[in-house]
Amino acid sequence: MRLTTCISALLLSATSLSATVKGCRPINSFEQGHELRQSQMAAAYNAPARIDVRGSWDLFASASYLYWQPSEENLELGISNASSSNALPISGNVVNMNFQFKSGYKVALGVNTDTDNWDAMAEYTWLGGRHSARSNGPVSGGILPFWGHPANVADNIIFGKSRWRVRFDILDVTLGRSSYIGTQLIFRPYFGARAAWIDQKYLVSYTPQAQSPYEIRCTNDTWGVGPEIGLDMNYLVGYGLRLIGKGEADLLFTRYNLRIKEQNSSNPSGLPLAVDFRQRHLTYLRPHANLEMGFGWGSYFCNHNYHIDFSATYCFQIFWSQNMFRTFVAGGAVGKSFAPNGDLYIQGATGSLRFDF
C-alpha cells in the first residue's frame, strides 16, 4: 500500500512538472481568444483572451493593405469667376482639390509576454500620393486666385492648376492586454508611444492672359512624438467570426519646417523671386484621433500550434491643424500673413492578415 502511494505521488509530480514546460502546457477547455461559456470564466478576474498558441515563440506578425483617402482643408485653387477677374460682382464656383484614394501598407510584429498575459507590439504605417486640381477660366471672365502675394497676383488669369503631395510615416509601439468582458466581448486596452513624420508639398501654377505661367511652391515638413492610448473591441459572433470596433487617440509634440517660394508674375523666369522665405523649428502640440469598425475571422490550426486571422475595417481619422502654409493678405503691408491651420483627414478601408506562431 505504501509503495503504491509513493508511485502515485511521483507520477503526479512528474505530470505537474511537464505541464509547466513551454509548449507542453495543458490546453484550456476552450479555445482562448474565441467564444466560451460563462461556466468557463473565473470569477472577479478579467480572464485572458489573447490568442494562445502552443508554439514556444509566442510571436505574432501582421500585414495590412490600405486604401485610404487623405484630404486637407484650405487647399482650394481659386474661384472660376464668370465676370471680370478684377471687379465685382463675383459669380462662379470655387475650384476644389480632387482628393483621391491611395494605396499604402502597415506591418507589425508583436510578442505575448509571461507578465499577466500582456503583449507588446511595434507597427509601421506608410501612405503617400499626389492629388491635383485644374481649371480654365470662363471666356467672359477668369480665375480669382487664392494663392500668391496680393502685390504679385497677375490680372486676367485664364488657367490654373495645383498639386498636393503628402506622405505619412508612422511608428507605434504599444503594450496591451486582451481580456473577456462577459462571454462574447473582448477588450484590449493599450497604451504606448507614437512617432509620426508628415511631409507635404503644395504647388500652384497660374497662367495670365498672353503671359507665361508663374508658380507658388509651399513645403511643410513635420515630425512629432508623444503618448497614445486606445481600445480594441471584438464582439464574438461564433464560428470564428467577430465584429470589430477600435478607438485611438494621441497627442504629439510636433515640429514644423516651412518654406514658400513664389515667382514674379510679370517675369517668371527672372530673378529674384517675388517671395522666398522659411519658417523653422515651429513647435506645437497636435492631437490625432482614429475610429474604426469592421469584421474579422480567425481560427487555430495544426493542433493549436498556429493561428491565422483575417480582418477588414473602415477608418475615420483626423490630424488637427496640419495646414501651416502661410497666406499673405495685403498688398501694402507686404509681410501681413497668417496660417490657415486646416485639419488633415483620412478615411478608407484596411484589409489585414495576422499570423500567430
DSSP codes of every residue in 255-290 = EEEEEEEE--SS-TTSSS-SEEEEEEEEEEEEEEEE
CB 37 within 8 A of CB 182: no
What is the per-residue pLDDT across 2-37, written as a single tens digit (0 to 9) for each?
Answer: 444 444 444 444 444 344 434 444 456 677 778 777
Which among 60, 57, 67, 24 has a CA at the least distance from the CA of 350? 67
Asked if the model's pLDDT at residue 108 lies above 80, the reply is: yes
CB 325 within 8 A of CB 340: yes
Asked if the model's pLDDT at residue 43 lies above 80, the reply is: no
So what's the pLDDT on residue 263? 95
So what's the pLDDT on residue 233? 97
**In this structure, is residue 208 part of a structural domain?**
yes
Asked if the model's pLDDT at residue 84 lies above 70, the reply is: no
Q: What percent of the chain is modeled with pLDDT above 70?
A: 89
- In eight-state DSSP terms, residue 312 is E
What is the per-residue pLDDT across 135-182, written as a single tens digit (0 to 9) for each?
Answer: 998 888 889 999 999 999 988 899 999 999 999 999 999 999 999 998
**In this structure, is residue 284 part of a structural domain?**
yes
User: Mean pLDDT in the chain?
Assistant: 89
Q: Quote the CA–CA distance of 302 and 307 in Å, as a whole number.
A: 9
**DSSP line for 224-238:** EEEEEEEEEEEEEEE
Asked if the model's pLDDT at residue 283 lies above 80, the reply is: yes
**In this structure, is residue 123 part of a structural domain?**
yes
Burial of 142 (0-12, 13-18, 19+ CB in 10 A): buried
Asked if the model's pLDDT at residue 107 lies above 60, the reply is: yes
Question: pTM of the predicted model, to two decimals?
Answer: 0.85
Residue 263 contacts by C-beta under 8 Å, 6 or more apart in sequence?
Answer: 214, 215, 216, 273, 274
**In this structure, is residue 220 part of a structural domain?**
yes
Strand partners, 234: 186, 244
| Total count of residues recorded for the chain | 357
Strand runs labelled E in 73-208: 78-81, 92-95, 102-112, 118-136, 142-145, 157-177, 179-180, 185-208
Q: What is the residue range of 294's domain?
A: 52-356
**In this structure, is residue 26 part of a structural domain?**
no
Instruction: Look at residue 140 and give its three-state secondary structure.
Output: coil
**Which three cell numbers, joined as nine digits, stand for 115?**
507578465
Residue 85 contacts by C-beta under 8 Å, 6 or more apart in sequence?
Answer: 137, 141, 142, 143, 144, 155, 156, 157
**C-alpha 3 chain-centroid distance:** 67
Q: Quote the CA–CA distance of 325 and 199 in Å, as a whole number.
A: 12
**In this structure, is residue 47 part of a structural domain?**
no
How many independent structural domains does the chain possess?
1
**In this structure, is residue 27 part of a structural domain?**
no
Instruction: Look at residue 38 and give its three-state secondary structure.
Output: helix
Strand partners, 190: 176, 230
Q: Quote the CA–CA distance of 22 and 194 in Å, as a whole number.
A: 33
Plot region of 210 (φ>0 → left; ψ -120 to 50 → alpha; else → beta): left
H or E stretch at 72: strand 59-72
So what's the pLDDT on residue 185? 96
Burial of 314 (0-12, 13-18, 19+ CB in 10 A): middle
Q: What is the CATH number of the domain that holds 156?
A: 2.40.128.90
**In this structure, is residue 15 part of a structural domain?**
no
Q: Quote the CA–CA distance of 180 and 40 in Å, as a whole number.
A: 11
